[in-house]
Structure 1
Amino acid sequence: MTDLDLPFPDAALAPHEEERFQALEQTVQDGLRDFQRTGQALAEIRDNGFYRETHADFETYLRDRWGFNLRQADRIMDAAVVARKLEPLGIEARHEKQASSFKPAVKILDALEPEQQRMVGRLVEERKAAEADDLAPWEEAAAPELKIMAGVVQKMTPDKTVYHPESGEEVAFDSLSPTQRYEVVREHVAQKTQQYHEKQAAKAAAEPAEKINWAAWCLQYAREGLAPEQRLEIVLERGHDGKPVIHARVVDKETGEVLMEGEAVGNMKNAVLGLVREVGG
């Protein structure tokens, strides 16, 4: 095939580009189960426009060559970037979904200074080495705990007021020695981590909320709950701040008296659910 036979002859690849393109496509072909290699290869193809001889844009190339849509490819490429940034911390993302769960933490890490990143790395090493009955397994808790670590370190600005780890006096964070600063950070991380896991445990122990089809409830209540002299109304009006609000209520047909009424809210579903609570109460 000559350049003139290509769909886009003016966009022909140079020999070294063609060689690299073929190598990258082979990487994608061989590594479709390896999200990191696949993501890195796709990103290089996109960034260098290696698809340009045969396709007008990257999205069309993805669809025709690999059966991906752009959203799928972006997800794989993002996960590959996250996985690469976790490597200096000794964290291995085994699959795309796991890597994606670290994305919020990595976003914070990217904003940290090198010294702060090293502090996070030290926290990770210490946490991975810890063995205690009251600690969740690191493999299960790594993503949220890393986010907590990075978030705490980020908030420890030089002028932030903290308690001195020895005297208990309020001092500026920057006035502490490196050892004392780390001790303060570690204590804050421990507190926030405990709060996070307690909240998760409470959420897991809570009874699941009953799912109610609000439209079906209205019809059922009209059939079984309304007296002949009553009417169920869903009212849309402007609130005190000028924004539209909705509330559901039961009124007396003759007098117009409001017998029961849910809280005025911003959408119809929650308006009806507010009335459901009133009726149930």
Structure 2
Amino acid sequence: MAPTLSPTTGAAALEPHEAARLKALEQTVRDGLRDFQRTGQALSEIRDNAFYRATHENFEAYLQERWGFTLPQAGRLIEAADVARVLSPIGVQPQNERQARAMKAAARIVTELEPEQQRVVARLVEDAGDTAPWEDAPPAAELRIMAGVVKKLEPETTVHHPDSGDEVPFDSLSGPQRYEVVRTQVDQKTQAYREKQEARANAPQPEKVNWAEWCLDYAAQALGPGQRLELVIEPGEQPRVQARVMDGETGEVLAEGHEAGNLKRAVLNLVAEVKG
């Protein structure tokens, strides 16, 4: 049976139950524009069931005309809502869209875990929050470490016994011992991650070079009498630049570097050519 067409738009009309559901979902979007999870879930259902079809040809047109959203904006909301839905059972509640999307990698790992493994991650989250309380949710990187360690420890994985230090299969340990192994590995990896981040933050920042000034300095120091440095730029979708040394009197090209996509590389290509 062919779908009923709307007499005004020619688009496929909604069944009564679909129209009622669309009305409820749109009310959710309207009421929950500050709640990324409810809004994302509602938009996802509207998209997946094509509830927009009675008034719009596609989801993108519906978003723009009904809500003033672009398709990428709606996609980010839907993605963030999916992440929040996955993480909620393990006790993680992202507070906003940006925070949720930062946890996308961790959520992907969580979906690959067995229910028992997910419960282990939930306990890790709870224990970590007790020892070092977060303002609202665990940092995305640390949550990813927790989920990654749990996923990696298969029953046959060889680990160090938490009491004796002997190498034993992971599944030969008792429940409390397995959790101790997991928590130890999470703590070690988290500490290593934090130290790496701290070292990166404290590392001396590379000196920023003004390449226009560098070119002038190079010209002043390297060019001989009567020589000049020229930069030839070819415009286009992908501009190219070439640096070359010219004889100021005759216009003869004395040396030239390979073309490059930026000033820095063009001059360095010339330097390499001059040095041979």
Paired residue for 1:219?
A: 215
- Is residue 17 from structure 1 mapped to residue 18 from structure 2 by the alignment? yes
Matches within 5 A, 1:143-158: 143-158=140-155
- Is residue 88 from structure 1 mapped to residue 84 from structure 2 by the alignment? no
- Is residue 199 from structure 1 mapped to residue 196 from structure 2 by the alignment? yes
**Structure 2 gap segments, 5+ residues each:** 232-241, 248-253, 255-259
What is the alpha-carbon distance in structure 1 between the residues aligned to residue 228 and residue 122 of structure 2? 64
Residues 219 and 228, structure 2, Cα contact 8 Å, conserved in 1: no
**Length-normalised TM-score, structure 1:** 0.76
Residues 117 and 150, structure 2, Cα contact 8 Å, conserved in 1: yes
Residues 36 and 76, structure 1, Cα contact 8 Å, conserved in 2: yes
> How many Å apart are 1:58 and its aligned residue?
0.7
Paired residue for 2:32?
A: 31
User: Structure 1 vs Structure 2: percent identity of aligned residues?
Assistant: 52
What is the alpha-carbon distance in structure 2 between the residues aligned to residue 38 and residue 187 of structure 1? 39
What is the alpha-carbon distance in structure 2 between the residues aligned to residue 130 and residue 156 of structure 1? 24
> How many Å apart are 1:197 and its aligned residue?
0.9
Which stretch shifts more, 69-78 or 196-205? Answer: 196-205
Residues 37 and 77, structure 2, Cα contact 8 Å, conserved in 1: yes
Q: Which of the residues 173, 195, 205 maps onto 1:208?
A: 205
- Equivalent position amino acid for 1:6 in 2: T
- Equivalent position amino acid for 2:223 in 1: A
What is the alpha-carbon distance in structure 1 between the residues aligned to residue 111 and residue 155 of structure 2? 19
Paired residue for 2:72?
A: 71
Deviations 1:245-277 (A, max 9, x none): xxx9999x9xx9xxxxxxxxx9868857978xx
What is the alpha-carbon distance in structure 2 between the residues aligned to residue 193 and residue 91 of structure 1? 18
Deviations 1:159-211 (A, max 9, x none): 22211111111122122222211111111000000011111112222233333
Q: 1:163 to 1:231 in 2, by over 3 A?
A: farther
3-state secondary structure, aligned to 2:159: strand
Paired residue for 1:262?
A: none
What is the alpha-carbon distance in structure 2 between the residues aligned to residue 24 and residue 144 of structure 1? 33
Q: 1:138 to 1:202 in 2, by over 3 A?
A: farther
- Cα RMSD, aligned residues only: 3.5
Deviations 1:84-123 (A, max 9, x none): 2222122221111111111111011111111111111111
3-state secondary structure, aligned to 1:162: strand
Q: 1:114 to 1:205 in 2, by over 3 A?
A: same
Residues 215 and 267, structure 2, Cα contact 8 Å, conserved in 1: no
Paired residue for 2:53?
A: 52
> How many Å apart are 1:127 and its aligned residue?
0.6
> How many Å apart are 1:139 and its aligned residue?
4.1
- Is residue 142 from structure 1 mapped to residue 115 from structure 2 by the alignment? no
Paired residue for 1:185?
A: 182
What is the alpha-carbon distance in structure 2 between the residues aligned to residue 201 and residue 140 of structure 1? 21
Deviations 1:44-95 (A, max 9, x none): 1001110001111111111121111111101000101111222212222111
Aligned length: 249
**Structure 1 gap segments, 5+ residues each:** 235-247, 257-265
- Equivalent position amino acid for 1:220 in 2: L
Residues 6 and 53, structure 1, Cα contact 8 Å, conserved in 2: no
Paired residue for 2:257?
A: none
What is the alpha-carbon distance in structure 2 between the residues aligned to residue 24 and residue 47 of structure 1? 12
3-state secondary structure, aligned to 2:54: coil
Which stretch shifts more, 204-213 or 120-129? Answer: 204-213
Q: Which of the residues 157, 161, 164 maps onto 1:164?
A: 161
Q: 1:184 to 1:46 in 2, by over 3 A?
A: same
Paired residue for 1:108?
A: 109
